[in-house]
């Protein structure tokens, strides 16, 4: 009992004639005869009465036909859509806050011009969570800041942004060029551990034998900006967030010896996960993003 048998049964029922059913299916009458007989043997009863000039469904045949018609219809509908499976599968993106705010909108706008029908799902999470979600296969791609993660992943750097070490103009400070050691003794307003900026800072300090002991920790960069503006201390933030404040003179920029001044953005996907055409297109748009980035 295959779909083929069902197709042949339907053709015979519709033409009332083995020979014409065969012509419609581009096979020989003999093949039709075989197929119907196999079905009849399987059913244990005749499906057609053979009249002299035509065949006619028996009651059993009619019952069977009624059952197979919807099955055939489903399969044919499926067959028509199977080429477009990818176009109906949603893309799941996890992204850091900053990338989601400043890069992702442009990327997705460009992507959706090419693939307007792909549903897109964005989750904003920390870098560490992003990788975990990727590992579990719950997302197709992660856009994070910082270093390429260990594990079964493929990382593609696609942009970077400068970081500024800033404080309020009235924040009391001896010089605008600090050593690492001096920096560590200042009042530091920092992002939480696990965030790209903080992790990079911590590792640089660790290698130099220092430790940052922030007076203020926040998961939200905007809170750090406000704290810095109010003169509570020194913070490190992306140019996209503080560029305008610097030019307005509401914050001033410091420099610290040997301290990183930029953050890398990377797109990460699971090594073993198949790249669908839409996903490849998305990656292409991400890679083309460097020039768009601030």
Partner DNA sequence: AATAGTGATTAGTTTTACTCATATGAGGAG
Partner DNA sequence: CTCCTCATATGAGTAAAACTAATCACTATT
The residues that touch DNA, with contacts defined as CB under 7 A, are: 2, 4, 8, 17-19, 22, 26-31, 33-38, 50, 52-55, 152
Instruction: Decide which of DNA, a second copy, none touches 17; Cβ closer than 5 to 8 Å per partner kind.
Output: DNA
Nearer to DNA, 31 or 260 (CB): 31
Contact string (CB under 8 A) for a second copy, positions 272-291, x = contact = xxx-xx--------------
* Residues 6 or more apart in contact with residue 189 via CB below 8 angstroms: 214, 215, 216, 218, 224, 227, 228, 232, 233, 234, 235
Tell whether residue 74 is a contact of a second copy (CB under 8 A). yes
Query: What does 89 interact with, of a second copy, DNA, none (CB < 5 to 8 A by kind)?
Result: a second copy
Q: Least distance to a second copy from the beta carbon of 6, Å? A: 9
* Cβ at position 1, least distance to DNA in Å: 9
Q: Which of these ranges, 24-32, 82-90, 207-215, 236-244, lies near a second copy under the rule CB under 8 A?
A: 82-90
- Choose from a second copy, DNA, none: what does 33 bind? Cβ within 5-8 Å by kind: DNA
Distance CA 260, CA 164 (A): 9
49 binds, options a second copy, DNA, none, Cβ within 5 to 8 A by partner type? a second copy
Instruction: List Cα–Cα distances, 115 to 88, 142, 289, in angstroms.
Output: 11, 19, 17
Note whether 49 and 86 are within 8 A (CB).
no
**Piece of 21-29, 84-92, 124-132, 246-254 that binds a second copy (CB under 8 A):** 84-92
Nearer to DNA, 131 or 227 (CB): 131
* Among positions 58, 155, 160, 179, the unique one binding a second copy when judged by CB under 8 A: 58
Nearer to DNA, 117 or 272 (CB): 272
Contacts for 97-102: CB closer than 8 Å, 24+ residues apart: 97/124, 97/221, 98/145, 98/221, 98/238, 98/240, 98/241, 99/143, 99/144, 99/145, 99/265, 100/124, 100/143, 102/238, 102/240, 102/294
Binding site for a second copy (CB under 8 A): 1-4, 42-46, 49-52, 56, 58-60, 62-64, 67-68, 70-71, 74-75, 78-79, 81-83, 85-86, 88-90, 137, 270, 272-274, 276-277
């Amino acid at each position: 009992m295959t779909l083929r048998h069902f197709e042949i049964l339907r053709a015979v029922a519709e033409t009332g004639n083995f020979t014409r059913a065969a012509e419609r299916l581009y096979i020989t009458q003999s093949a039709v005869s075989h197929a119907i007989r196999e079905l009849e043997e399987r059913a244990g009863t005749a499906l057609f009465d053979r009249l002299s000039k035509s065949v006619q469904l028996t009651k059993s045949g009619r019952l069977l036909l009624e059952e197979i018609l919807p099955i055939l219809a489903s399969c044919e509908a499926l067959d028509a859509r199977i080429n477009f499976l990818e176009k109906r599968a949603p893309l799941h993106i996890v992204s850091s806050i900053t990338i989601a705010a400043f890069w992702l909108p442009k990327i997705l706008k460009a992507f959706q011009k090419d693939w307007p029908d792909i549903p897109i799902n964005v989750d904003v999470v920390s870098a560490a969570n992003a990788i975990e979600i990727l590992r579990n296969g719950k997302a197709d791609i992660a856009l994070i800041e910082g270093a390429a993660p260990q594990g079964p992943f493929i990382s593609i750097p696609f942009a970077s942004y400068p970081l500024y070490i800033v404080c309020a103009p009235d924040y009391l400070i001896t010089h605008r060029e600090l050593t690492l050691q001096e920096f560590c003794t200042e009042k530091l307003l920092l992002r939480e551990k696990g965030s790209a900026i903080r992790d990079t800072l911590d590792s640089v300090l660790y290698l130099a034998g220092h430790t940052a002991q922030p007076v203020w920790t926040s998961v939200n960069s905007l809170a750090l900006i406000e704290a810095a503006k109010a003169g509570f201390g020194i913070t490190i933030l992306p140019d996209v967030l503080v560029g305008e404040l610097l030019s307005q003179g509401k914050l001033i920029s410091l420099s610290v010896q040997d301290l990183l001044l930029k953050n890398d953005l990377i797109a990460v996907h699971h090594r073993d996960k198949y790249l669908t055409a839409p996903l490849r297109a998305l990656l292409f748009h991400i890679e083309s993003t460097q020039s768009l980035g601030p």
